[in-house]
């Protein structure tokens, strides 16, 4: 887990989800601690579920001060820089999509690194990606992003799959995580932009 | 856990809850991946909570491909066979009741098999039974089935109790699971049919 | 964990949260088992999350019969003594505030006792304090108490911090837990009474 690539990817995912959580909290006009709390749940929730399922305890989102510091910095910056964020049309969707790919990659990688099989890596990669967003939305009472009409969890599964395929071929660390996260972001962004969706039932 | 009876009981519970989840997702007109996701949460959510609490990691619903395959097959079948299911008056309630008993039995059995005491077996049996349904309903924004007026969690507790009593008397494997699941299903079905309910407060 | 102070503090927190859950369930007119279920989730939910994150399995709220017995007794008493509770203006808020401090202290103490670092103790102390209340409110479909305008999670963090500071200075057991819980209760009560709140965003 401690390979530099994954530390960077994990940090970027944490940053992106923390912004999505802080913006969601601001839209509900929570107080400053509420902004921090929702940002923390969005940024670390998926990773905590992942670590619980892998038995990697206590979860890194609690045990490593850098995550909490990162969330605190992002919360403060979001409050100050709100006018900037308001220029984005849908800031929650944008930062959520960014984090989705990063966390899908980290989830898949960490599962394999701790000895789990390919299936666990795919399932936990996907859950790591979508978990923080679902918890964030439950907490601020938004419709969970996973139920939106555009492709969402499937993009995370695509990112996790590329990471797993790379790892099985011995290319897990340098290029693969970035390709996997980029593919996930691309799928999700295009789906939102062009309203791609799977057939409804 | 690997005694044939429990594998069959666990599989049947997974099938039944997957149908309940897939139908609930279809009623919300989710896309095909959404149907799979809700079916997976309903079918494996209770077991994942159970395995987290028992420290049996990674949870079997993630580590064993048969669960995911079962959920995928059920999701596809539900989408194709919708007209058939529509003939049932309340398909979610019916399949949910079926799964409730199977999972209460498996939860109680697995707790004892992994060395927990009788109380853990009763609590986790009940939580295994009701967990998937509660998560499913939170996800699709239905009123949680556990808050419905008819007897629900108490039926799961009855099933778990019979399994525990059987195990304490050395009869855990052949007849007991089926009797326990049948009693749970009977209590729940009769409660729905005749609007049995505990005194309200 | 087995020092008498913490057993008493933990028991008091369980009692207080069980009352808050039972009252919330009664306001939704759930049946008698529903009252027990919501009281159990409120009283033991935070501790179960704590024990999952610490790998202390099975969670004490399931493994120790005294918790279930305590919740059952409180549920029965709440149903009988409803007229008494109705005299309190906001009984859920009052008992929730009581339990908040007790559980923040126990969560911080148990984290340190099991070898976690200071940050885990602060995060898990806070989560132990607020967890049961958040789950209770999700279950009965109230607005989560943590999103209310008055100071809430910050009070739990204050209690956990005092306990951690005391423990670092070798005074973890006799006076510290009571001071920490009292400070938490005082902050929360004053915040509710005088509508203290952090700046909104």
Tell me which of A137-151, B13-27, B33-47, B126-140 is least confident.
A137-151
| Residue of C34, C62, C68 lying closest to B53 (CB–CB) | C62
* Sign of the torsion angle spanned by Cα atoms C47, C52, C58, C62: positive
- Give the SS3 label for residue A163: helix
Tens of pLDDT, residues A50-61: 999 999 888 988
Interval B29-83: pLDDT, tens: 888 888 888 999 999 999 999 999 999 888 988 888 889 999 999 999 988 887 7
How far apart are the C-alpha atoms of B173 and B179, rounded to whole Å? 11
Mean predicted confidence (pLDDT) in B79-98: 79
Q: Which residues of C touch A34 (CB under 8 A)?
A: 146-147, 198
- For testing contact with chain C, the best of B53, B130, B139, B164 (most C CBs within 10 A): B53
- What is the spatial distance between Cα C160 and Cα C184, in angstroms, rounded to a whole number? 9
- Distance of alpha carbon C124 from alpha carbon C159, whole angstroms: 12
Give the whole-angstrom CA distance, residue B72 versus residue B22: 10
Q: What is the pLDDT of residue A1?
A: 47
Which of A116, A117, A201 is facing B30, going by the closest CB pair? Answer: A201
> What distance in Å separates the CA atoms of residue C117 and residue C139, rounded to the nearest whole number?
32
Question: Residue C198's closest chain A neighbor by CA?
Answer: A31
Cβ separation A147–B58 shorter than 8 A: no
Taking a C-beta distance cutoff of 8 angstroms, is the pair C134, C21 a contact?
Answer: no
Chain C residues with beta carbon closer than 8 angstroms to that of A82: 201
Do C141 and C187 meet the contact criterion of CB atoms below 8 Å apart?
no
Q: Report helix angle B91-113 to B153-168, nearest 10.
A: 30
- CA–chain centroid gap for C185, Å, is 11
* Successive 10-residue mean pLDDT values, chain C, 201 residues: 74 92 87 87 92 90 89 91 74 86 93 91 92 86 73 90 90 82 92 80 70
Q: Which residues of C touch A (CB under 8 A)?
A: 52-55, 111, 116-117, 119-120, 123-124, 134, 138, 143-144, 146-147, 149, 151, 153-154, 197-201
Nearest to B117 by CA among B166, B168, B80: B168
Query: What is d(CA C106, CA B201) in angstroms, rounded to the nearest whole number?
Result: 32
**pLDDT tens figures, A159-201:** 999 999 998 888 767 788 899 999 999 999 898 888 877 777 7
Q: How far is CA A62 from CA A45, A100, C46, C184, in A?
A: 10, 20, 15, 22
C-chain residues near A63 (CB < 8 A): 116-117, 119-120
Question: Minimal CA–CA distance to C41: which of C114, C138, C159?
Answer: C138
pLDDT for C86 equals 72
The answer to whether the CB of C167 falls within 8 A of the CB of C106 is no
Nearest CB to A154 within list B25, B33, B35:
B33
ipTM metric: 0.81
- What residue in A sits closest to C49 (Cα-Cα)? A52
pLDDT number for residue B61: 87
Cβ distance B32 to A201 less than 8 Å, yes or no, reads yes
φ, ψ of residue A132 in degrees (nearest 5): -60, -40
d(CA B95, CA B40): 14
Please report all neighbours of A, defined by 3+ CB atom pairs within 8 A. Answer: B, C
Contacts of A37 in chain C (CB under 8 A): 146, 153
Closest residue to A37, CB basis, from C116, C146, C199: C146
Interface A–B counts its CB contacts (< 8 A) at 65
* CB B185, CB B97: distance < 8 Å: yes
Chain A nearest-CA residue for B141: A143
SS3 content of chain A, % helix, strand, coil (to 5): 75, 0, 20
Residue A74 tokens read as 């992002």
Mean pLDDT, residues B80-106: 83
Three-state DSSP at A2 gives coil
Give the distance from residue B40's alpha carbon to the nearest chain A alpha carbon, in angstroms: 11
- A39: its two tokens: 């940002």
């Amino acid at each position: 887990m401690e390979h530099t690539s994954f530390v960077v990817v994990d940090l970027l995912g944490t940053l992106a989800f923390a912004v999505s959580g802080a913006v969601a909290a601001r839209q509900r006009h929570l107080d400053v601690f509420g902004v921090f709390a929702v940002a923390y749940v969005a940024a670390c929730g998926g990773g905590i579920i992942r670590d619980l399922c892998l038995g990697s305890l206590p979860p890194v989102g609690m045990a490593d001060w850098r995550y909490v510091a990162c969330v605190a910095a992002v919360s403060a910056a979001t409050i100050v820089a709100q006018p900037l964020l308001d220029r984005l049309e849908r800031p929650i969707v944008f930062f959520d999509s960014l984090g989705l790919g990063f966390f899908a990659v980290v989830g898949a990688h960490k599962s394999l690194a701790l000895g789990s099989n390919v299936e666990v890596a795919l399932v936990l990669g996907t859950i790591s990606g979508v978990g923080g967003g679902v918890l964030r939305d439950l907490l601020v009472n938004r419709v969970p992003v996973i139920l939106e009409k555009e492709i969402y969890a499937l993009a995370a599964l695509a990112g996790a799959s590329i990471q797993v395929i790379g790892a099985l071929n011995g290319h897990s660390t340098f290029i693969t995580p970035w390709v996997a996260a980029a593919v996930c972001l691309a799928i999700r962004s295009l789906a939102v932009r062009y309203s791609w969706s799977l057939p409804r039932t």
